Amino acid sequence: MSANSDQIVFHPEAAKRFDQEAIGIRGTVQGLQVIQSGPSDAPDLHPVATISPEDILSRSKFVYEHDAAGDPSGVFWVSGAMRVGWVGEAFQPIKTLVEKMGQLKPIRDLISDEFLLHEICGWLCDSLECRRSDGLADYLTTRFNEVVKDQEIWIPLFRTYSAREFGLGPVRFQSISRKIMDEWWTRIPPHVLEDQRNVSALNKRRSELQARLAACIRVRAEEKKAVELARAAAQNATALLRFLSPATLNSRLTSYCTPGGTEGVDVCIELFMDKGRIGTMSRGVPDHHNTDWRLDASIELRPGALENLDRLATDPVSTEYRKSLYDALILYSRQPLAREISDKLVFTLSALESMLLRDSNEPIQKNLGERMAFLIGQSVQQRKDIVKNIDEVYRIRSAFVHHGQTARHVETVDRFLVNAWATMSRLLDFVPRFRTKAALIGALEDQKMS
């Protein structure tokens, strides 16, 4: 497989091999029985609306079956008066073919497995029904070069706002402005706006988006692969952004700063019953005070932190130190998302240990406490307090991990979270100075002996 002059081309030998496999799969197509209707004891759900055939703009002719893990396990379509396709063991060669093609460069960087499966099934179907006579490789080559294009994708963050535009490595963060939403509104067909229900739904969508900060990514790929790549980049960049969240410093706060759709905000619903009838309903978010984050204040309170994060995100792998710190920050970013103090301790300690311990053979508690102390302590007393705090925190964590006790001691934990943030910030300062973790730890050990 190669990409010449932006054209994706199969190697002739690979094309021949894939064509032969596809012809073999084609010969195993099955005639399938009609799928029985669902069980009569299904939940009695209330439909929101009825969708008529004229409401459906497009639909796939294929129906895919999935196993318990959510992976495709079968495909069929209606041909004449019966359903035909491959299910169970007969589907496995199709799945294997998708996996083999999907591992090839540049397919793995440009094409999603979902698109690849759909197109292979499309070729098999059309070939069986005598609508095409070309080989699978030629067909896929044409389709790949039709769908791979430059995409700019904006992924809104959940209730996160900023007046400034900035970048973290390859991801740019920018607000979805009123101007952008006004232009979008002008392109809504007039007949849609004649129905007040549509207007209400569109206004709700606009309210959800306008002024929110978005992770903006440019990528060249097929559409579904582009979304996959963009979401992965947005997830990592937003994880680094949470380093600035107030929730990193306070065990009672939770951050909801994630790409939209992954925020995990609980919606509480209560039904107040009266003699078997619903009297009243209540619906709300339990943590509504902390769901919104105005980022500008956090940036101003932590001067230089955003620039340090951008420097690391722009080049996260050129040295062992950069890669280790980047991985540690991604792990640390799960701390502000956590709601339980015990979880906050586990994520924070794991991130610190990954940067400040040589290996698992070192005494963890002693070395971590002392190295943190020499990183951020400004006096002998401050260093003693940091070491003491680490000892207390490990006892709290041990009570949770080994005995199932809920972590309390909020003041002790909060002091630790502040110290941990300061330590990670100091490690970011050292990105230009050290190339390896060993060099950092060696410098700290020398400082202890001076």
The Cα 113–Cα 107 span in angstroms is: 9
Among 418, 248, 413, 215, smallest CA distance to 329 is for 248
CA distances from 61 to 70, 127, 372, 418 (A): 20, 15, 60, 56
- Cα 405 from chain centre: 31
**Average of pLDDT values for 175-185?**
96
The Cα 161–Cα 174 span in angstroms is: 9
Among 336, 340, 333, smallest CA distance to 397 is for 340
Q: What is the pLDDT of residue 360?
A: 83
CB 119 within 8 A of CB 132: no
Please determine, for residue 449, whether its predicted confidence score (pLDDT) is greater than 70: yes
Q: What is the pLDDT of residue 282?
A: 78
From start to end of 88-204, where are the E strands?
A: 149-156, 160-161, 166-168, 171-175
Give percent above pLDDT 90 in the chain. Answer: 76
Least confident interval from 46-50, 366-370, 444-448? 46-50
Structure tokens at 339: 């709601």
Please determine, for residue 140, whether its predicted confidence score (pLDDT) is greater than 90: yes
CB 125 within 8 A of CB 84: no
Among 384, 381, 372, smallest CA distance to 419 is for 372
Kindly report the average pLDDT of the chain as a whole number. Answer: 90
Q: Is residue 125 helix, strand or coil?
A: helix
Least confident interval from 214-218, 273-277, 337-341? 273-277
Give the alpha-carbon dihedral of 286, 288, 291, 296, to 10 degrees: -150
Q: What is the pLDDT of residue 241?
A: 98
CB 353 within 8 A of CB 331: no
Query: Which residue matches tokens 């294009």?
Result: 149
Per-residue pLDDT band for 39 (boundaries 50, 70, 90) equals low
CB 414 within 8 A of CB 251: yes
Structure tokens at 26: 């084609």
Express each pLDDT in 220-253 by its tens digit: 999 999 999 999 999 999 999 999 999 999 999 9
Please determine, for residue 33, whether its predicted confidence score (pLDDT) is greater than 70: no
The Cα 285–Cα 269 span in angstroms is: 9
Among 97, 131, 129, smallest CA distance to 116 is for 97
CB 267 within 8 A of CB 284: yes
**Average of pLDDT values for 393-410?**
73
Q: What is the pLDDT of residue 82?
A: 86
Please determine, for residue 32, whether its predicted confidence score (pLDDT) is greater than 90: no
pTM over 0.95: no
Q: What is the pLDDT of residue 314?
A: 97
Query: Which residue matches tokens 């060249």?
Result: 220
Please determine, for residue 57, whether its predicted confidence score (pLDDT) is greater than 60: no
Express each pLDDT in 416-428 by its tens digit: 999 999 999 999 9
Express each pLDDT in 286-296 by its tens digit: 665 567 999 99
Q: What is the pLDDT of residue 439?
A: 97
Q: What is the pLDDT of residue 435?
A: 97
**Average of pLDDT values for 152-167?**
95
Among 94, 114, 125, 119, smallest CA distance to 25 is for 94
Q: What is the pLDDT of residue 71?
A: 94
The Cα 294–Cα 247 span in angstroms is: 13
Query: Which residue matches tokens 């947005």?
Result: 234
Q: What is the pLDDT of residue 264?
A: 63
What residues form DSSP beta bridges with 74? 65, 87
CA distances from 304 to 243, 298, 319 (A): 12, 11, 21
Please determine, for residue 362, whether its predicted confidence score (pLDDT) is greater than 70: yes
CB 243 within 8 A of CB 236: no
Per-residue pLDDT band for 46 (boundaries 50, 70, 90) equals confident
**In the sheet that 149-156 helps form, which strands lie side by side, from edge to edge?**
149-156, 213-221, 171-175, 166-168
Express each pLDDT in 316-361 by its tens digit: 999 999 999 999 999 999 999 999 899 999 999 999 999 999 988 8
**For 242-315, where are the alpha helices, taking DSSP H only?**
295-301, 305-314
Q: Any idea what the Cα angle at residue 409 is, between residues 405 and 413, rounded to 5°?
A: 105
Per-residue pLDDT band for 45 (boundaries 50, 70, 90) equals confident
Per-residue pLDDT band for 117 (boundaries 50, 70, 90) equals very high
